[in-house]
């Protein structure tokens, strides 16, 4: 229930939603409402109007997208966890979905809501970076895709025009030589806001890393790729020592949830642990 007295626009379809978005850019999009309602209830947000997306069939469901997947903006975490195609293409995203809130939030919270909310602690964001996801956005002017890597331009700032809505998150096909990883560190296992998250993907061909993605959340104003670490990993067998370079890529801050020193050390250790496990797995499977 919305406890503000702001009007709520309820479009019947995507075309109407985009027309309303163009005519009323001040109206805040509302998907599952699990972020918006917290802000409204706490008084930190009082938008003059809402644009309710929840009824839009065009934003629902998982579809094939070439060899990859198109995850509708309104896909909930529960839907992602249950979908066999998502499990096969993006096991790390399924892992991340399982760590979000509790079941009630997973049933109602959406992937695009997490992306658009743009919290540095948004749990899906490092994985989407690691998977080279693209964010599909639409307006009355047309549709375009923004690489996840180019989506955030500052703290809670997205490269979206005021008349655009997120319509889907697109994932490339999973390469058979890819291994994926997700790890969330919080104060407890459920209902915890992350202190550090790691999303990772390594492509290992002929015993050598040919592509590396290492992305962290909660360590900067928005989720970031650790490009120094990535560069050090490519062109050789998996080497856990690359984790020691993480300080060149992330400069965490102290805040109410954690300290910069803790975050940097935890980021290094969880990365080192993952890389060491992948290296050990490779050594045992090549025996
Ligand atoms: C108790 C609780 C626990 C939580 N735990 C976690 C957690 O563990 N990890 C985590 O990452 N998050 C957590 N959250 C936050 C929240 O549930 C997620 O971020 C969720 O994915 C938001 O999705 P939503 O559909 O509810 O978004 P909404 O609240 O509807 O919207 C969020 C933002 O996105 C915008 N938006 C939504 N859809 C679109 C769209 N299609 N196009 C453009 N803009 C759009 C809205 O305008 C708003 O700014 C928690 C929240 C609560 C209340």
pLDDT in tens, 30-67: 999 999 999 999 999 899 999 999 999 999 999 999 99
Q: Which residue's CA is the nearest one to ligand 1's atom 19?
A: 114
- Which CATH number applies to 180-285? 3.30.390.50
pLDDT at 252: 87
> What CATH fold (topology level) applies to the domain 58-171?
3.30.465
Instruction: Find out whether the beta carbon of 113 lies less than 6 Å from any atom of ligand 1.
Output: yes
**In residues, how long is the chain?**
287
Whole-number average pLDDT of the chain: 94
Q: How many CB atoms lie within 10 A of CB 258?
A: 21
Top mutation candidate among 10, 26, 31 for ligand 1, by most atoms within 8 Å of CB: 31
Atom nearest to 165 CA in ligand 1: 42
Residue 20 has pLDDT above 70, yes or no: yes
Least confident of 72-81, 108-117, 138-147, 245-254: 245-254
Instruction: Find out whether the beta carbon of 79 lies less than 6 Å from any atom of ligand 1.
Output: no
H or E element that contains 63:
strand 62-65
Main-chain phi, psi angles of 142, to 5 degrees: 135, -170
Collapsing DSSP to helix, strand or coil, 224 comes out as strand
Least confident of 20-29, 123-132, 145-154, 192-201: 192-201
Query: How much distance in Å is there from the Cα of 36 to the middle of ligand 1?
Result: 7
Query: How much distance in Å is there from the Cα of 7 to the middle of ligand 1?
Result: 20
Instruction: Find out whether the beta carbon of 122 lies less than 6 Å from any atom of ligand 1.
Output: yes
pLDDT at 287: 53
| Digit-coded pLDDT (tens) for 230-272 | 999 999 999 999 999 999 999 888 887 788 899 999 999 999 9
Quote the pTM value. 0.95
Atom nearest to 160 CA in ligand 1: 43
pLDDT at 208: 97
Top mutation candidate among 101, 106, 164, 165 for ligand 1, by most atoms within 8 Å of CB: 101
Query: How much distance in Å is there from the Cα of 165 to the middle of ligand 1?
Result: 14
Q: Where are the domains of the chain?
A: 58-171, 180-285
Closest CA to 151 of 128, 174, 123, 173: 128
Instruction: Find out whether the beta carbon of 123 lies less than 6 Å from any atom of ligand 1.
Output: yes
pLDDT at 3: 57
pLDDT at 2: 52
**Do the beta carbons of residue 59 and residue 82 sit within 8 Å?**
no
* Residue range 119-130: mean pLDDT, rounded: 96
Instruction: Find out whether the beta carbon of 166 lies less than 6 Å from any atom of ligand 1.
Output: yes
Q: Which residue's CA is the nearest one to ligand 1's atom 37?
A: 113
What are 127's two structure tokens? Answer: 């994985």
**Do the beta carbons of residue 134 and residue 145 sit within 8 Å?**
yes
Q: What's the Rg (C-alpha) of the chain?
A: 19
* Residue range 272-283: mean pLDDT, rounded: 93
Query: How much distance in Å is there from the Cα of 32 to the middle of ligand 1?
Result: 7
Sheet holding 196-205, edge to edge: 178-185, 196-205, 208-217, 224-225
Domain 58-171 shares a fold with domain 180-285: no
Q: How many CB atoms lie within 10 A of CB 30?
A: 22
In which band, very low, low, confident or very high, does the pLDDT at 187 lie, cut at 50, 70 and 90? confident
d(CA 249, CA 246): 5
Q: How many CB atoms lie within 10 A of CB 229?
A: 26
What are 134's two structure tokens? Answer: 């693209």
pLDDT at 1: 52
Query: How much distance in Å is there from the Cα of 13 to the middle of ligand 1?
Result: 21
pLDDT at 99: 93
């Amino acid at each position: 229930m919305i406890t503000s007295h702001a009007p709520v626009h309820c479009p019947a379809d995507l075309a109407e939603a985009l027309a309303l978005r163009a005519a009323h850019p001040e109206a805040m999009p509302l998907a599952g409402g699990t972020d918006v309602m917290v802000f409204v209830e706490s008084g930190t947000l009082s938008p003059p109007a809402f644009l309710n997306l929840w009824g839009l069939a065009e934003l629902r469901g998982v579809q094939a997208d070439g060899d990859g997947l198109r995850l509708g903006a309104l896909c909930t975490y529960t839907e992602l966890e249950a979908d066999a195609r998502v499990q096969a293409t993006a096991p790390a995203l399924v892992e991340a979905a399982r760590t979000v809130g509790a079941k009630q939030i997973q049933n109602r919270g959406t992937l695009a809501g997490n992306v658009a909310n743009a919290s540095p602690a948004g749990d899906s964001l490092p994985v989407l970076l690691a998977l080279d996801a693209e964010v599909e956005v639409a307006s009355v002017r047309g549709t375009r895709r923004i690489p996840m890597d180019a989506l955030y331009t500052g703290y809670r700032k997205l490269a979206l025009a005021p008349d655009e809505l997120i319509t889907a998150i697109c994932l490339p096909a999973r390469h058979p030589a890819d291994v994926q990883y997700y790890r969330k560190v919080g104060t407890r296992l459920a209902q915890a806001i992350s202190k550090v998250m790691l999303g990772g993907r390594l492509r290992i061909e002929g015993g050598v890393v040919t592509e590396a993605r290492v992305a962290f959340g909660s360590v900067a104003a928005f989720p970031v790729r650790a490009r120094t670490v990535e560069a050090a990993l490519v062109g050789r067998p998996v080497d856990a020592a690359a984790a020691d370079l993480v300080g060149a890529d992330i400069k965490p801050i102290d805040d109410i949830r954690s300290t910069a020193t803790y975050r940097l050390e935890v980021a290094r250790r969880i990365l080192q642990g993952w890389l060491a496990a992948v290296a050990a797995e490779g050594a045992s499977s090549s025996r």
